[in-house]
Chains A and B, each alone.
Chain A
């Protein structure tokens, strides 16, 4: 891939760093004002690793994924920050996807960066047969005959564990179950062997057995092909199983980031602790109420000077309402944004 203008002297991220997001700030235009959505979000996706992104609904998980893909809705703007993609063909230069021209970005999407969506049923065009939809990426990025493209798509479907792939290719999306659709989407995203896969709650719509199949599949891809995965979810089980590192976000800010094992062993941020506690435990039986975090997440546009979690935090101090805490280092590659940890 040739690109001239955008290959400015960005330093290349570390050898196995495929994608790094640096200080990403997003805002949305509502009525007359601009309301911040993401505040200084940074993370790195490494080859063969899986990064988890957890948080409540509306904490900015999906919008982060869309920002990386360059698929932000028109009303959402990137205020600051970079999304650096180290392109294997890019002569050791990283390219900033935020500033990449649209046409250039289009050649990256689906080929190097892929995404699978939350709701598999609505992410497929109801008027196109599965086969037609699958070969779209091939038709866009490769010069390939229709026949060859269909063959390849069918092989991919089979690889995703779809029985009778040949006849499925001719089906319309409404004829498939949710799990099938998710696998079709996965096949579509993986058709061109992308380096980075963003999975936005890939298993929410699926039942447990299919969930397990899909996760095994993702795991294999990660190990065998060295694909980097960004897994967006609010399922702690998934986080524990699949991810190497976790990013906990709340109201568009990073609360804590750590290696998965560390986060489970020593969660540092009060929000992470509260979030970990708000889940049904099998051992506890039905006795008692499900623990939850009191209060509600801040509404969009509710401006706060201090820590966004302060109003709901059991340990909140006067200071928490005045200044937003930076990320303090807690341990090795383990940071959390809380004044309690300042030392």
Chain B
């Protein structure tokens, strides 16, 4: 984080900024120029962005990667320490008949080759690397869905409270205070048990339990976002440009949407990059408690909790805890770095002709 912030100061004196900054004067910056600018001024942010892309690609292409089955293992391969080998596997007879597009594509790309035991195996002999890759899908989906939900609720709520001020603000923010006092873990447990009850009727409508859970998490994590946005809006609405917009006849909605909210983007993005990790951790925690993602699905939190369950001083399977934890930590770091960079890039005052 720190590096990302300090770099622009050094970077703007760097002559290499010149060409990309000049491009802006001719109009919109091309995306290549943007990346060039980012690379010279925010190398940490660029690294974070690349890391996020990598995780995203990994999650999206999980079925195509030459990895062992993440759901099945053999008992004689349990608790193997990492020792990566490429090995040929004979296609299971069941696969040949009902192979999906992903499996067929994978077979076309890699044949029967697979990367075995890159990060060790777990107590059921399943390949950990494969489980981490598949787990990223769940973890990222939770993070994105829940963060978007919290973003929408939080920003709208905060903007309304801040803009209208007075009694409206008082009422809305006291409600937030009250909600802060609610122990959400119980709410979630309660909701999850309700969800299980109505599982069938939900499924018949094409809504999976997980999605409801993700939205629920998002609906919990908007409180601080609302506070942050409200504070910003409170100070922004007193700025002269808001008065100037009123003076040309702009209505309230236009002022909120066009003048006030864009000015909160910086802090919202920064806060969002802090929320995403919290949500991922919360999901991990829920999985740990056994009310989040349910096996056979995997998520990073679930992997970590599995590790905690089997690790003993006698049976030190360090890889079981280390790899899921490390992947989680690196991903969260990347998101934070990226957020920091995006904030700087979106702010017209810090991008462009470096002042």
Contacts and interface: CB of A to CB of B under 8 A. Distances in A.
Interface of A: 66, 69, 71, 74, 103, 106-111, 114-115, 117-119, 122-128, 136-137, 140-141, 167, 170, 172, 174-175, 185, 188-189
Nearest to A188: B248
Contacts of B245: 125, 136
Contacts of A189: 247-248
B348 A127 contact: yes
Contacts of A111: 249
28 contacts: A74-B166, A103-B251, A106-B249, A108-B249, A109-B247, A110-B247, A114-B247, A115-B244, A117-B247, A118-B240, A123-B241, A123-B244, A125-B262, A125-B263, A126-B241, A126-B349, A127-B265, A128-B259, A128-B262, A136-B248, A136-B250, A136-B258, A140-B248, A140-B251, A140-B254, A167-B27, A172-B349, A174-B355
B243 interface: yes
A109 B241 contact: no
B244 A117 contact: yes
B348 A123 contact: no
A199 B272 CA distance: 42
A169 to B, nearest CB: 10
Interface string B229-257: 00000000001110111111111001000
Contact of A125 (B165, B166, B259, B265): B259
Nearest to A198: B247
B197 interface: no
Interface of B: 25-28, 165-166, 239-241, 243-251, 254, 258-259, 262-263, 265, 348-349, 352-353, 355
B298 to A, nearest CB: 42
Given A128-B262, A140-B251, 16 more contacts: A106-B250, A106-B251, A108-B249, A109-B247, A109-B248, A110-B249, A114-B247, A115-B247, A117-B247, A125-B258, A125-B263, A127-B262, A136-B245, A137-B248, A167-B26, A185-B244
A128 B247 CA distance: 17
B339 to A, nearest CB: 18
Given A71-B247, A109-B249, A119 B240 contact: yes
B247 A69 contact: yes
A253 B355 CA distance: 45
A170 B265 contact: no
A141 B263 CA distance: 24
Nearest to B259: A125
Contacts of B262: 125, 127-128
Nearest to A107: B249
A136 B251 CA distance: 11
Given A117-B240, A175-B352, A175-B353, A128 B258 contact: yes
- A66, A114, A172 interface centre (most CB from chain B within 10 Å): A172
B263 A127 contact: yes
Nearest to B27: A170
A103 B27 CA distance: 37
A170 B25 CA distance: 9
Nearest to A118: B240
Nearest to B261: A127
A126 B27 CA distance: 17
Contact of A140 (B241, B250, B263): B250
A109 B251 CA distance: 11
A141 B249 contact: yes
Contacts of B165: 74
Nearest to A113: B247
A174 B249 contact: no
A174 B243 contact: no
For the complex of A and B, list the 9 residue pairs with the smallest distance between their C-beta atoms, beginning with the closest.
A110-B248, A110-B249, A172-B348, A137-B248, A109-B249, A127-B262, A123-B244, A122-B240, A125-B241
A123 B348 CA distance: 16
